[in-house]
Structure 1
Amino acid sequence: MTETQTAAPARPLRTPLTLTGITIAATLLAALLINWLAPGLEPMQQRFIAVLALAAFACIVVAATSRDLFTAGRVHAGLLIVPALVILAPFAAGIKDIGLQAGATLVLGYLATGVYEELWFRGLILKSLASWTPTRAALLSSALFGLTHLANIAFGANPAITAAQVVGATCFGMGLAALRLRGVSLWPLIILHALGDIALQLGDVSTAWRWTFMVGGDVTLLIFGFLILRTVPTESAKTTGNS
């Protein structure tokens, strides 16, 4: 076996791990800089500034290295029905009134989160796994997506809640990765992602119901992801960035 053949299997894994390391480092660096420059800001304000910077960073990287991700794929409305119903469920009881300024900040912050995380994980990282089978690619990209949420501790997040968020984000990511591998473009995924976060914050439900919607939604998207991936040809993963 030649040296090239020996090294080849490691290459597909090296890129997503490197991209994950970059996003974790960028998040931690943003937390340190914001805390140093504006130590008096509340954790939520710090996260808001950080995610705006990270969204801009992701857009720049994608524009410079994989511009096709901005246009690849289609809406595939039929595939979005189940995820949309799951994600919008917390709004069934109405919308909380938290004030115009707070509401606008929350919506903008979560929209930026959707842009950043979808471009990075369902965009760059999933594309880097094009040589893998769709299910393996979706699982790894989703697991890496979940693990990066550990960086939230740097913004003062509760470690136990963060651990639960890692699991939930992995399940949530599996559903979105499956949609991407079925040819859905990144823009509907960005909207779904943002709406999911916004609904959990602004849905007028009790804490118990909020956790029920969150856990139930994540489990549903995990199962949904596995189900729709059953109909994805292996070669589909190779055309994710070029469809």
Structure 2
Amino acid sequence: MANTEPPLKVRPRIWVGLLIWLAYLALVITIQAASGIPYDAWGESAGNLFFGAGVSLIVATVLLVITTTLLGWWRPALFERERSRHRWPIFVPILTAIAAIMNLTATDWSAYGGAFLAASLALLLVGFTEELVSRGLLLTALRSRLREVWVWLITSVLFGLSHLVNILLGAPDSGTVIQVTSAFLAGTVFYILRRVTGSLIWAMVLHGLWDFSVFATAVGQAGDLAAIANVVELTAGFLGLACVAFVIRGANERTDAPVAPRA
């Protein structure tokens, strides 16, 4: 069967993906540090949240859209050529979605003002930005040369390690190390969701929902269900490690596609 996929503007290369990943981290940490608002003070007011986190996510979203368009990588970044033959691992991201709903149920919504809620909605952009960088553009670049098992492992490890920058913003060392481990597991869950559904979009939605739900429980006095949600989410991550081999098996997603000729 002839290849009907549109040619890419720039041929995927590993160094391009790594450069985008590093540039994204540098951009976010620079804007957030310039705000002068410590990481643990974001939840104190709508202004702290918007200028401490929201502005960096908005700027990153715009620049990532421009970058992906210039590269011509939208299709491989957002869509699989073929979905995983094994669909049953979908239960893993479903568990994470249930955990997010549990968090939202346990949230003290009475502690939210209108302005604070509006500012916190900007956190939903983290699903778009971090997924497009890690399991979109970086994944596309890695697939140009590496076997799929390495694509999963490297994208998940780097996604976890990217959370180390929170230390520079004032986050506690011990808590950040735990966050790095949790993010690696979550990255595996999001990778499974991409492979099973055939699209990164669902991973973007789930990622944004989970991060928003975690922040929501930190406002006011969360119910006991939030503690259970953390256990469910962590369990989903470990189950993801046990299941990820099944969605990797048979993957044929190499991105050594032809480059579009220049006009």
- Compute the TM-score of the two structures, normalised by the length of structure 1: 0.76
1:72 aligns with 2:79: yes
Work out which of the residue numbers 109, 114, 119 in structure 1 matches 2:132.
119
Equivalence for 1:21: 22
Work out which of the residue numbers 153, 159, 168 in structure 1 matches 2:173.
159
Distance 1:213 1:155 in 2: 26
Where relative contact order (Cα < 8 A, 6+ residues apart) is larger, the structure is: 2
Work out which of the residue numbers 173, 187, 194 in structure 1 matches 2:187.
173
Distance 1:71 1:145 in 2: 17
- CA shift digits 1:189-229 (9 cap, x unpaired): 111111101222335734x7545523540341342254154
Equivalence for 2:119: 105
Shift of 1:102: 0.9
Q: Is the 8 A contact 1:134 1:234 kept in 2?
A: no
- The total of aligned residue pairs comes to 225
RMSD: 3.3
Distance 1:75 1:196 in 2: 24
Distance of aligned partners of 1:134 and 1:82 in 2 relative to their CA distance in 1, 3 Å threshold: farther
Q: Is the 8 A contact 2:128 2:204 kept in 1?
A: yes
Q: Is the 8 A contact 1:30 1:50 kept in 2?
A: yes
Distance of aligned partners of 1:24 and 1:231 in 2 relative to their CA distance in 1, 3 Å threshold: closer
Q: Aligned ranges for residues 1-243 of structure 1 at < 5 Å?
A: 14-35=15-36, 42=48, 45-65=51-71, 66-69=73-76, 72-73=79-80, 79=90, 81-93=94-106, 96-97=109-110, 98-107=112-121, 109-130=122-143, 131-203=145-217, 205-206=222-223, 210-224=226-240, 226-238=242-254
Distance 1:94 1:29 in 2: 31
The residue type paired with residue 142 of structure 2 is: L
Shift of 1:94: 5.6
Distance 2:99 2:139 in 1: 23
Equivalence for 2:261: none
The structure carrying a bigger helix percent of its residues is 1
Distance 2:103 2:16 in 1: 37
User: Kindly, what percent of the aligned residue pairs are identical?
Assistant: 20
Distance of aligned partners of 1:222 and 1:87 in 2 relative to their CA distance in 1, 3 Å threshold: farther
Shift of 1:12: 6.5
- Compute the TM-score of the two structures, normalised by the length of structure 2: 0.71
Distance 2:179 2:245 in 1: 24
- Over 4 Å off, 4+ runs: 73-78
Q: Is the 8 A contact 2:96 2:232 kept in 1?
A: no
